[in-house]
Amino acid sequence: MDTRNAFRRGWAIIAAILSSLAVGYELVTGICKLLFDPLPDGWCITAYIYLIVMLLVNEYLMHYAETPMLPPGYEAKLTFALRGTYVAVIIAAIYSVLFVPALPYSFLALFMYGVGVGAWTPFINLVVLLCQMGALKEQRRFHKLGPVINRQAISRQAIGMCAFVLVSICVLVAIMPEERRSLIAQHAPGYRMFSSWWGFVHGEMYMKGDKS
């Protein structure tokens, strides 16, 4: 295993550990709710756990693919990993955008309590996942496997989908009456996360128990 792979693998393990600690600490203490709620429901928790799992699954599969002869059945596994990584990158990118306004607060939390590093885990995850995506594609080229999907097409579709979803949610949150927001927040997966984030960037402090 060359230095580049070892470096990527080390950061993947670090990212998975930090993300697991950040999710666990948030679920126990709810400290991020001082700003906004990043894990308001089971859908968001499941999405972030999926991201952590993909960090480790990718490294596990690539470890056994770093041989001249691809083990039996690994072509399908590499295809699954690459497709799963596309989804994980989208999740990491969304959380990275959401945590950008929280970074100044994370410095204070880092020096005072040591927990501010949790706000940086989405960015670490995104960088590591992008490196893993490149490594998976390199493995497919090395073993002379065809492209799993059209890269340009999926990139345009992913960017367009993320932009449409984020803009649509922000617009709906901005124009919707507060009573309606609270009603929808009780039923829509992920809505409370974006709603609390929108209030945070507009100077509202989101406290646990203040909103449904």
pLDDT one-digit tens code per residue, 77-98: 888 888 899 899 999 999 998 8
Q: Which pLDDT tens digit goes with each residue over 151-198?
A: 566 666 666 767 777 777 677 666 766 666 666 655 665 666 767 776
Work out the average pLDDT over 108-127: 79
In angstroms, how far is CA 124 from the centroid of its own chain? 9
Q: Which of 138, 137, 102 is nearest to 22 (CA)?
A: 102
Q: What pTM was estimated for this model as a whole?
A: 0.72
What value does the mean pLDDT of the chain take? Answer: 77
CA-CA distance, 179 to 68, in Å (whole number)? Answer: 61
Tokens for 125, please give them. Answer: 């995850």
Q: What is residue 136's predicted lDDT score, i.e. its pLDDT?
A: 86
**Cβ neighbours for 145, distance < 8 A, ≥ 6 positions apart:** 75, 78, 79
Does 207 or 5 have the greater pLDDT score? 5
What pLDDT is attached to residue 80?
Answer: 84
Per-residue confidence (pLDDT) for residue 208, from 0 to 100: 43
pLDDT in tens, 5-62: 888 899 999 999 999 999 998 888 888 888 888 888 788 899 999 999 999 999 988 8
Comparison of pLDDT for 73 and 37, the residue scoring more:
37
The pLDDT value given to residue 76: 76
What value does the CA radius of gyration of the chain take, rounded to a whole number of Å? 19
- pLDDT, tens digit, for every residue of 131-151? 999 888 887 776 666 655 555
pLDDT at 211: 43
What DSSP assignment string belongs to 54-113? HHHHHHHHHHHH-SSSPPTTHHHHHHHHHHHHHHHHHHHHHHHHHHGGGHHHHHHHHHHT
Residue 69 has pLDDT above 80, yes or no: no
